[in-house]
């Protein structure tokens, strides 16, 4: 029944009073742009504030100030009624055809849901609709409609005067104005109600709807995704224009979202559902010359809560203000490490390690090819059509720069994704037609997609049918925008840091996200949440149990143990072919360690070109930990010694350097030496660990003065996940260069020359358990121990070792180039710490020393060598921290040979289990 009524927004009304801007508004503007200064406000509490006035404009005759008297308000209302005469005529036409439209819309709903042909529709001619924009059938509300979809498009890309009447004609002459987005991101299907006085710059309200249609371009898992569900509440743009914001900045400023907290209360909407948004602007306020407003909305589906947005703030900024913004600024507290939250006793579904994925790998993942992105562990999973990432317009992540399963300040994992930006990208050209900028809601979605890549790598997978990635209900997702992505932007980066993972029963995760534009942090999402509905923990565990064998499989080698051993102690040509035949007898080449110090069994993957010495090559190496390995007994400990762990990680670096042909770049024989490194141990290695797999990547290569310097990244994993990861630097040197090394420069060894040194204890190094046996013992005696010595007064210890030219390690490390392994030099420092720990806390034969303490980063440097001609090695360590609760020591140390300081180790730790 079409009956004419005056809409509520046309009725004469007393202008609503606005709230005085409080301190929080100043803080918001200042965070966006430091050049914007807070306005000076001085009034008693709860004092009503007069409506915001506009400046006089002689060309339009707009009053300089709106008063609160009824007579002036009525006069203004009459003027507005005359100005809207054209629009009322259109409304009469629209309402007279309402009954016909409702009937047609019901037919459209039925056709869309059943797949039947869409009935032919003779659209109602509207004199406000552009000729080139025919009406689009939609699922309509049963409520009265003030503005239909075509009229909303007019506000987006056409004339505001043709929608709101000649009173707004001046705005069409401005270089830019507040608009709704263009297709495909214009999501307001109809405007049902408006409360507020046009051009009043007071509070207001608008009610809109968005229909989720079958086959909609944005559907993800057959749901309207997060960004669409938020963006569809975009009519705060319309409402701010209706309330007169364009008359204030006159096209010299553009709209930007600043803050919002979004909370979902149910699942994402499905096709056939309509979302109703009740949007409120509470008040406008100024900070200097900048206009801002606070707003919020409630979104419902069938009258039930779906989404709420609170603490919304947006502003209108000039180009100068946007360029002057500092972006997201973090305090030291924001970056402080904190413990993450995960279920007790949870174990990884699939082994993980630091990885990166190319554009083609991410595209393969998007197409459902898990193994081409994640590796062989994801091959032959019992999934026909796994739910991954959407494509088309929703292709928002191009590549993954790094996935670190233990990264981030919460220690639960971090991922960094990247995307290229092009001036003609759809999300720029449609948002907005006269001000191309990436929507903040789409930035939110980019972060969610990157987060999903990490969670899928963790093993969170399900069939497309019945599974959905969506936000966790009742979690406030806080969005903060302090920059923009525009046509000149080249690249954006997404950094997602997990802070909580668990099951409810579906798997869920909460993270903090940071987005950067060309290196500048511009958007932050606190408590970004996502869950995978359609599965649960038992289902995931069952899926992986049916696929994943116990332990890491021993892969077919590309280079087997025999060839590796040939390179270590035999003929290099038997390992690498004829190009290295010259090193079989005529020349010497840098070797790998030989037995019993060889901890490399096979090379199983190679992504590098042989004989091309350049960065970027990657290999995968494996070492099978023997249950009865000699070093467990010699160290009198049930865990792999640090020196063996370090060698297992670094020996593949030497193999990769040889594979790339490093020795062939010089006509002189070169030796290979480790120079620097830093790492963290994440898990202990025991006789039950089985196979260790290490991935090594050469990250840089430089040559100068006959030397070659190479840098590497590495990560070691066992069947349950990461064990040890770090980075290191090696160098190739001539024999003359090694003989003339001067040691570490600018060092301050902890040598004690004052009388207090005479008080230090001296004794032979303990020979009984839990201290190492002779083969692993790198200290003969303690030459000075001061329990309260050192700069910090926490302890100082010094040990000595006599160099024995016949020692086993000279033969093993290296063939034709005998030198004490640097790893054994670092082990000697840890053996000194065992003495300090035994003195500080009671130990017995069965005490277990954790060396290095887990998750404690350590660093080392070598600038010299210990060779058979040397006489004495002296090692000293100063305790820098003691934790009696955890029985853990932290220390810095040096190693000297015959008076020359050649090794340094920082932040090395020992913990009693």
Give catalytic residue positions: 431
> 3-state SS string over 502-557?
EECCCEEEEEEEEEEECCEEEEEEEEEEEEEECCCHHHHHHHHHHHCCCCCCCCCC
Q: Is 889 helix (H, G, I), strand (E, B) or coil?
A: strand
> How far is Cα 785 from Cα 792, in angstroms, rounded to an integer?
15
Longest dimension (CA), the chain: 109
Vertex 477 angle, CA 473 and 483, to 5°: 155
The dihedral sign for the CA sequence 535, 538, 539, 541: positive
> How far is Cα 644 from Cα 629, in angstroms, rounded to an integer?
11
CA dihedral 139, 144, 147, 150 (to 10 degrees): 30
Helices (H), 159-198: 160-164
Contacts of 24 (CB under 8 A, 6+ apart): none
> How far is Cα 186 from Cα 188, in angstroms, rounded to an integer?
6
Tokens of 74: 């009525």
**E strand segments, 563-706:** 602-607, 618-624, 670-681, 691-704
> How far is Cα 861 from Cα 678, in angstroms, rounded to an integer?
9
Q: Is 303 helix (H, G, I), strand (E, B) or coil?
A: coil
> How far is Cα 342 from Cα 500, in angstroms, rounded to an integer?
6
**Letter string b/e over residues 600-625, b meaning 16 or more CB atoms within 10 A of that residue's CB:** bbbbbbeebeeeebeeebebbbbbbb
Q: Is 559 exposed, middle or buried (0-12, 13-18, 19+ CB in 10 A)?
A: buried
- Residue 761, φ and ψ in degrees, nearest 5: -80, 145
> How far is Cα 593 from Cα 565, in angstroms, rounded to an integer?
9
Tokens of 311: 């603490």
Contact 479, 261 (CB under 8 A): yes
Helix 642-659 / helix 822-840 crossing angle, nearest 10 deg: 160
Contact 682, 724 (CB under 8 A): yes
Tokens of 444: 């939110």
**Letter string b/e over residues 805-822, b meaning 16 or more CB atoms within 10 A of that residue's CB:** eebebbebbbbebbbbbb
Question: What is the distance of C-alpha 280 from the center of its chain?
Answer: 33
> How far is Cα 132 from Cα 822, in angstroms, rounded to an integer?
77
């Amino acid at each position: 029944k079409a009956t004419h009524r005056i809409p509520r927004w046309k009725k004469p009304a007393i202008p609503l009073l606005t709230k005085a801007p409080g301190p929080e508004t100043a803080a918001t503007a200042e965070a966006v742009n430091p050049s914007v200064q807070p306005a000076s406000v001085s009034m008693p509490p709860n004092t009503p504030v007069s409506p915001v006035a506009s400046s006089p404009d002689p060309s339009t005759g707009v009053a300089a100030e709106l008063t609160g008297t009824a007579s002036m308000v009525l006069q203004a209302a009459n003027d507005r009624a005359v100005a809207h005469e054209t629009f009322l005529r259109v409304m009469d036409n629209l309402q007279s055809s309402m009954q016909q439209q409702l009937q047609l819309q019901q037919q459209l709903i039925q056709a869309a849901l059943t797949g039947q042909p869409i009935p032919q529709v003779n659209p109602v001619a509207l004199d406000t609709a552009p000729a080139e924009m025919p009406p689009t059938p939609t699922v309509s509300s049963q409520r009265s409609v003030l503005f239909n979809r075509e009229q909303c498009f007019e506000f987006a890309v056409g004339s505001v005067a043709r929608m709101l009447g000649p009173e707004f004609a001046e705005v069409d002459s401005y270089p830019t104005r507040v608009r709704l987005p263009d297709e495909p991101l214009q999501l307001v299907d109809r405007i049902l109600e408006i409360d507020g006085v046009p051009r009043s710059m007071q509070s207001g309200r608008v009610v809109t709807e968005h229909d989720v249609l079958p086959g909609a371009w944005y559907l993800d898992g057959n749901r309207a995704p997060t960004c669409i569900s938020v963006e569809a509440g975009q009519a705060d743009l319309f409402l701010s224009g209706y309330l007169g914001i364009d008359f204030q900045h006159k096209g010299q400023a553009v709209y930007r979202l600043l803050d919002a907290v979004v909370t979902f209360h149910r699942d994402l909407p499905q096709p056939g559902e309509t979302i109703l948004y009740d949007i409120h602007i509470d008040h406008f306020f100024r900070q200097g010359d900048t206009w801002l407003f606070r707003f919020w909305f409630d979104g419902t589906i069938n009258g039930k809560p779906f989404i709420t947005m609170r603490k919304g703030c947006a502003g209108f900024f000039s180009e100068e203000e946007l360029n002057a913004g500092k972006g997201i600024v973090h305090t030291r507290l924001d970056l402080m490490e904190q413990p993450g939250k995960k279920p007790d006793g949870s174990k990884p579904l699939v082994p993980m390690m630091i990885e990166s994925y190319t554009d083609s790998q991410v595209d393969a993942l998007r197409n459902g090819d898990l193994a081409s992105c994640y590796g062989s562990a994801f091959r032959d999973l019992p999934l026909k059509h796994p739910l991954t990432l959407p494509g088309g317009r929703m292709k928002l992540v191009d590549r993954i720069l790094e996935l670190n399963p233990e990264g981030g300040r919460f220690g639960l994992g971090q991922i960094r994704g990247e995307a290229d930006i092009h001036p003609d990208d759809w999300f720029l050209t449609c948002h907005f037609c006269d001000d191309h900028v990436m929507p903040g809601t789409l930035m939110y979605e980019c972060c969610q997609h990157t987060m999903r890549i990490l969670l899928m790598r963790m093993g969170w997978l399900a069939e497309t049918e019945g599974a959905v990635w969506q936000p966790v209900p009742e979690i406030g997702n806080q969005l903060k925008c302090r920059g923009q992505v525009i046509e000149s932007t080249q690249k954006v980066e997404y950094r997602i840091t997990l802070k909580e993972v668990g099951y409810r029963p579906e798997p869920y995760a909460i993270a903090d996200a940071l987005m950067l534009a060309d290196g500048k942090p511009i958007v932050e999402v606190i408590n970004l949440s996502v869950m995978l509905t359609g599965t649960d923990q038992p289902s995931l565990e069952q899926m992986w149990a049916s696929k994943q064998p116990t332990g890491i499989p021993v892969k077919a080698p590309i280079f087997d143990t025999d060839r590796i051993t040939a390179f270590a102690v035999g003929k290099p040509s038997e390992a690498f072919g004829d190009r290295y035949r010259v090193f079989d007898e005529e020349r010497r080449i840098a070797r790998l360690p030989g037995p019993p110090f060889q901890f490399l069994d096979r090379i199983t993957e190679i992504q590098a070109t042989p004989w091309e010495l350049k960065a970027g090559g990657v290999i995968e190496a494996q070492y099978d930990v023997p249950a009865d390995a000699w070093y467990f007994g010699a160290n009198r400990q049930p865990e792999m010694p640090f020196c063996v762990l370090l060698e297992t990680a670094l020996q593949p670096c030497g193999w990769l350097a040889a594979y790339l042909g490093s020795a062939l770049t010089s006509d002189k024989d070169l030796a290979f030496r480790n120079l620097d490194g830093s790492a963290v141990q994440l898990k202990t290695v025991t006789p039950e660990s089985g196979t260790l797999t290490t991935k090594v990547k050469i990250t840089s290569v430089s040559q100068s003065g006959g030397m070659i310097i190479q840098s590497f990244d590495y990560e070691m994993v066992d069947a349950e996940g990461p064990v040890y990861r770090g980075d290191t630097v090696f160098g190739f040197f001539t024999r003359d260069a090694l003989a003339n090394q001067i040691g570490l420069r600018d060092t301050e060894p902890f040598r004690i020359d004052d009388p207090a040194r005479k008080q230090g204890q001296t004794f032979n190094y303990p020979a009984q358990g839990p201290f190492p046996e002779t083969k692993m013992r790198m200290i003969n005696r303690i030459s000075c121990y001061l329990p309260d010595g050192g700069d910090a007064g926490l302890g100082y210890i010094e040990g000595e070792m006599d160099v024995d030219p016949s020692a086993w390690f000279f033969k093993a490390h290296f063939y034709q180039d005998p030198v004490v392994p640097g790893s054994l030099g670092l082990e000697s420092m840890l053996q000194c710490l065992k003495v300090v720990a035994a003195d500080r806390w009671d130990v017995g034969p069965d005490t277990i020393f954790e060396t290095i303490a887990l998750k404690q980063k350590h660093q080392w440097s070598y600038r010299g060598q210990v060779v058979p001609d040397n006489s004495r090695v002296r090692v000293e360590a100063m305790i820098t921290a003691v934790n009696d609760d955890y029985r853990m020591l932290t220390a810095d140390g040096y190693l000297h040979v015959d008076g020359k300081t050649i090794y340094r180790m920082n932040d090395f730790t020992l913990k009693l289990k």
